[in-house]
């Protein structure tokens, strides 16, 4: 009997410990389920976060339809001055950048040889004139034949032509400006020997400058002579110049599918030949068009559309567009004045996404019913 009592005590103690562990485990499981249940329900009931966006309201403003292109300015007239005779340059009378008039002397060449040629031609001419006068008297006396007189007349006419040629060659020793303009380059110095037909000056008429655009044929019905042209030159930042369309070629180049449009500008200001320019031709104007920034348009490859904020949510709205001018796009269908269109943050939006417009205060949420009851 004394040996059985300790054994039964151990068995009872083990059973008690096992029962306690089982009850503790069940309690812990139940408590975990009770604690996680409300959290899961709370997470499931919470609304998604609003996407922060920036918006601009559709507004009405003037907008123009235009064609833009680039071109290099060229002078209306340009002349490469060449020597029409050879000789040594005794004087150079013009410098680069100098304004010259048509007919103004530019270079004087050595005229000695040309003067001798003129003197020789004059002597031959006087001789033949005297012979012809005597022949006319002799033919009246029938001392020479009429054929001999005719030959003398032909020789006299040829001598006169030779004399005129010699005088012309003498005049070529003074090189003159063929057009009025500015000396753009000078390739001669005093003392140089000038070969015939060698270029020595370049003169440009910069009073009027032209820019030629090669315009796609789809624009041929929109552009015409007399339209206003705006010009911006890279060499003159911040400046804008006005000109007009001078002429439009009526034929489309079959090789390039373009036609030529020539714009004219005054060259009396800062514009210079050779400047690279950017041109814009306004061919239509709307005084009160509904417009939105170009940045509001969606770039997803679909039809033109924007996101409009309505009741705190984003609504994708398709548009029918018109003219595009200086960062603004005309909206002909799809919006009304005052509609708030998203210009920043639109990449994160989907149809019906909740939005928070930056710069506007978030609405204060209404108190819960339990909170209202507690306050009462």
Close Cβ partners of 136 (under 8 Å, ≥ 6 residues apart): 149
Q: Which two tokens stand for residue 149?
A: 């007189």
Which has the higher per-residue pLDDT, 88 or 353?
Answer: 88
Per CATH, the number for 52-65+287-357 is: 2.40.420.20
Residue 46: per-residue pLDDT: 52
Q: Which two tokens stand for residue 276?
A: 């690279």
Residue 183: per-residue pLDDT: 93
Residue 219: per-residue pLDDT: 87
Q: What is the mean pLDDT of residues 362-370?
A: 42
The three-state (H, E, C) secondary structure of 108-121, written as one string: EECCHHHHHHHHHH
Q: What is the average pLDDT value for the chain, to the nearest integer?
A: 80
Dist CA 101 CA 280 (whole Å): 34
CATH architecture of 111-172: Orthogonal Bundle (1.10)
Tell me which residue of 257, 273, 259, 283 sits closest to 64, measured CA to CA.
283
Q: Phi/psi at 375 (nearest 5 deg)?
A: -70, -30
pTM tops 0.85, yes or no: no
Tell me which residue of 307, 125, 107 sits closest to 189, measured CA to CA.
107
Domain boundaries, the chain: 52-65+287-357, 68-76+206-283, 111-172
189-224 confidence digits (pLDDT tens): 999 999 999 999 999 988 889 999 999 998 888 899
- Res. 356: pLDDT tops 70: yes
216-260 confidence digits (pLDDT tens): 998 888 899 999 999 999 899 888 999 999 999 989 999 999 999
- So what CATH class is 68-76+206-283? mainly beta
Dist CA 351 CA 300 (whole Å): 14
Residue 43: per-residue pLDDT: 46
Residue 47: per-residue pLDDT: 55
Q: What is the mean pLDDT of residues 10-21?
A: 40
Residue 7: per-residue pLDDT: 42
* DSSP class of 146: H
Percent of the chain with pLDDT over 70: 82
Q: What is the mean pLDDT of residues 330-347?
A: 84
Question: Which of 40-54, 70-84, 127-141 has the largest mean confidence?
Answer: 70-84
Residue 23 banded pLDDT, cuts 50, 70, 90: very low
Residue for token pair 């039964």: 8
For 321, counting Cβ atoms within 10 Å of its Cβ (0-12 exposed, 13-18 middle, 19+ buried), the class is middle
Cross-sheet strand order for the sheet of 355-357: 313-318, 305-310, 340-344, 51-57, 355-357
Dist CA 197 CA 355 (whole Å): 78
Dist CA 310 CA 137 (whole Å): 117
Q: Using alpha carbons only, what angle is made at residue 180 by residues 178 and 182, rounded to the nearest 5 degrees?
A: 110
């Amino acid at each position: 009997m004394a040996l059985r009592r300790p054994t039964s005590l151990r068995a009872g103690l083990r059973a008690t410990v096992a029962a306690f562990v089982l009850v503790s485990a069940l309690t812990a499981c139940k408590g975990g389920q009770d604690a996680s249940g409300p959290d899961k329900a709370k997470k499931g009931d919470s609304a998604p976060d609003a996407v922060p966006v920036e918006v601009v309201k559709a507004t009405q403003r003037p907008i123009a339809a235009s064609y833009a292109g680039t071109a290099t300015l060229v002078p209306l007239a340009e002349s490469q001055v060449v020597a029409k005779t050879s000789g040594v340059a005794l004087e150079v009378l013009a410098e680069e950048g100098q304004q010259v008039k048509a007919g103004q002397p530019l270079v004087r060449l050595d005229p000695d040889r040309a003067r001798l040629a003129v003197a020789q031609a004059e002597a031959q001419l006087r001789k033949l004139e005297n012979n012809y006068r005597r022949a006319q008297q002799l033919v009246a006396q029938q001392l020479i034949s009429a054929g001999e007189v005719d030959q003398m007349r032909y020789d006299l006419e040829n001598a006169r032509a030779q004399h005129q040629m010699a005088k012309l060659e003498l005049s070529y020793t003074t090189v003159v400006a063929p057009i009025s303009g500015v000396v753009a380059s000078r390739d001669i110095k005093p003392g140089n020997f000038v070969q015939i037909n060698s270029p020595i000056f370049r003169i440009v008429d910069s009073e009027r400058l032209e820019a030629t655009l090669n315009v796609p044929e789809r624009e041929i019905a929109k552009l015409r002579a007399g339209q206003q042209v705006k010009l911006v030159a890279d060499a003159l930042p911040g400046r804008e110049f006005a000109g007009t369309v001078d002429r439009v070629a009526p034929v489309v180049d079959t090789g390039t599918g373009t036609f030529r449009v020539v714009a004219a500008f005054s060259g009396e200001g800062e514009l210079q030949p050779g400047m690279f320019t950017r041109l814009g031709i306004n061919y239509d104007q709307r005084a009160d068009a509904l417009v939105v920034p170009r940045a509001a348009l969606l770039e997803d490859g679909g039809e033109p559309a924007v996101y409009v904020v309505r009741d705190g949510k984003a609504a994708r709205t398709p548009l029918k567009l018109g003219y595009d001018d200086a960062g603004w796009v005309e909206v002909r269908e799809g919006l009304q004045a005052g509609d708030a269109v998203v210009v920043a943050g639109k990449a994160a939006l989907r149809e019906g996404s909740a939005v928070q417009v930056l710069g506007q205060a978030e609405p204060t949420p209404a108190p819960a019913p339990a909170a209202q009851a507690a306050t009462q």
